[in-house]
Structure 1
């Protein structure tokens, strides 16, 4: 019997509610062997790039991510080996010197806006989810979050959304919906979809004799 861990990919645009979906699945398996890996931890190291250039980083573009390292780490976790997860420092727009040791678990939730964009990542997943939320709701959530939590101005959030976030979503994130096994409308508020997901994960774990 295949005893490898189960990998669940959770994707969706910024403000779609993918973090809420991830938390809901995680909380349903509390006490079991489960971990969450954020794609955001795997932004490329830019320490060799001048700071002025780093300021122009487009964090919504597939090329911003170090998927090679992420895939290497996922393969280690699949072999039940620990990893040293990178820590990204947004104040200096590059990776910090710190890492976080992550121990392998039976269930791995990989969450991020572009986790379904790379075929190599998709091929490692047992279940692929796309959290699908109306653009106006996603924008409102992003706006309130960036102003409250990140001290941004209304103007800067709106400009970034129009210049970068929206076009990148339409070009790279939205098309990955076609790869999803399940599309969840309205994120964490969709309790029926989350219950179905939890049941499906339990079935896979039982099949693998993990649970």
Structure 2
């Protein structure tokens, strides 16, 4: 039996069923102790400040203070705490946003129990860890940065215009909407923006919800109105 202290973890996820499941899974591991669970970024920051955990397991999309903003604050206020992102989103925008904020690892929610446990232990030791698909997207984002900048410049004027017309859209959503309006398919949009088709679908669903349209035809008509 080891005398080493257990790794103290805070879990942050706005979905109760996922949050509770993570608490249960981690709590079964002999070398890990869950010291708190948060339903949003603000609560995650408060728990990190109060508990000084070794690791915060951080979702990105949460109400109020999101995971990226919470990560930035925790890294600043509790520098001894490592952030391990666990999220549905594995697109370059989410990955780079989390890394810039100071996250030390990045997993998607389809990670297995053993992969999750290994990642928690790795970031607690000061190492960085990424899911294979995340590492591939990160490499593509870095090595394809020149092409990506060129594609963004080509779409800069319409995307900027759409951002002004529809302020609820993020810049990347405006980029996607501009390409939808140009008649590009999901695969063509993914290739242009150097993201996955799944990421494009996520952005399009968000666009439809924010603009209150049912399909691409309505979105295009709104853009051209």
When normalised by structure 1's length, the TM-score is: 0.34
Higher share in strand: 1
Q: Using CA pairs under 8 Å that are at least 6 residues apart, name the structure with larger relative contact order, 1 or 2.
A: 1
Higher share in helix: 2
Structure with greater Cα Rg: 2
